[in-house]
Amino acid sequence: MGHLSTQIYNGYFRLGPTAYREKVRFFEENPDAISRLDFDDRIEMEFDYLYCLFEVGRYERYLSKVDAIVECVIAENIMEFNHENIFNELLFRKSACYFQLKEYNKCENLLKQLVRMDRTNKLYIGLYTICKYKTESSLVTIMKAFAVVSFIIVLGITIARIFLAPLIEQYFEPFIILRLVILSIGISSLVSLELFIQYMIYKETGMFSHTILNKIFGTPID
């Protein structure tokens, strides 16, 4: 490795393991110098750069780069990086990027392959289970639709009362009771649905969804 190459390599990693933004900036400001590094040093920096992109939330950028790196991993038969299965890790982060970008079908399809490769990984299983419900099973669709219809009916009764109450106030008492009943049912449906989803996720992984997402992304996901 030449003097300049040594400076580039050492300068990048000297920034520290958690200096994600600084390393992304450094990498993107020195593309020519990095391209001239020895293969082992360059691929190590490219792996780390991808990890940093993921950590700073540049998911589109990660997706634009990851496939070429995965092809290189396969072609060069690279097994590990930082004591992790680099092939699985790159694909898992790719699926997590799809999740954050709300491309749930792509996320689910990729996770399905990962679960087949490693049926003991709780993060794979957990995100896959969450994703299945994000893509809305028939039960989820029915429950959400029921809740939406309930809220529309409640809104209709409320609006009708505002405009018609002065004329037919004496007839509105049954509708007010009906509004409370329907509102309670709608809210109960949503709460029951969320409890059911959390139960199924916990049954599969031993963790609730917020714990899984925190482990993957580091912060709670809305």
10 shares a domain with 95? yes
Q: Could you say which residues of the chain have pLDDT below 70?
A: 1-4, 136-141, 143-144, 146, 160-161, 163-173, 175, 204, 219-222
Does one domain contain both 153 and 87?
A: no
Pair (147, 209) in one structural domain? yes
Q: Distance (Å, rounded) from C-alpha 215 to C-alpha 222? A: 14
Q: Please choose, from the candidates 86, 112, 84, 78, the residue with its C-alpha nearest in 3D space to the C-alpha of residue 98.
A: 112
Bridging pattern class, strands 84-85 and 80-81: antiparallel
pLDDT tens-digit series, residues 53-89: 999 999 999 999 999 999 999 999 999 888 899 999 9
Look at residue 101 in the predicted model and tell me its pLDDT. Answer: 94
What domain count does the chain have? 2
Supply the pLDDT for residue 50.
Answer: 96
Give the per-residue pLDDT at 169.
60
3-state SS of 63-86? HHHHHHHHHHHHHCCCCEECCEEH
Tokens of 222: 């809305």
Whether residue 70 is found in the same domain as residue 146? no
CB of 21 closer than 8 Å to CB of 43 = no
Give me the residues paired with residue 81 across strands.
84
Res 222: pLDDT: 39
Contact 72, 78 (CB under 8 A): yes
What is the pLDDT at residue 167?
A: 56
Q: Would you say 118 and 124 are in contact if contact means Cβ atoms under 8 Å apart?
A: yes
- Domain stop point among 102, 120, 153: 102
Say if 130 falls within a structural domain. no
- In the prediction, which pLDDT does 99 show? 93
Residue-level pLDDT at 4: 62
| 173 falls within a domain | yes
In b/e form, how buried is each residue of 143-177, taking b as 16+ CB within 10 angstroms? beeebeebeebbeebeeeeeeeeeeeeeeeeeeee
The pLDDT value recorded for residue 188 is 78
Residue 79 domain-assigned? yes
Please, what is the average pLDDT of the chain?
A: 83
Range of the domain at 42: 3-102
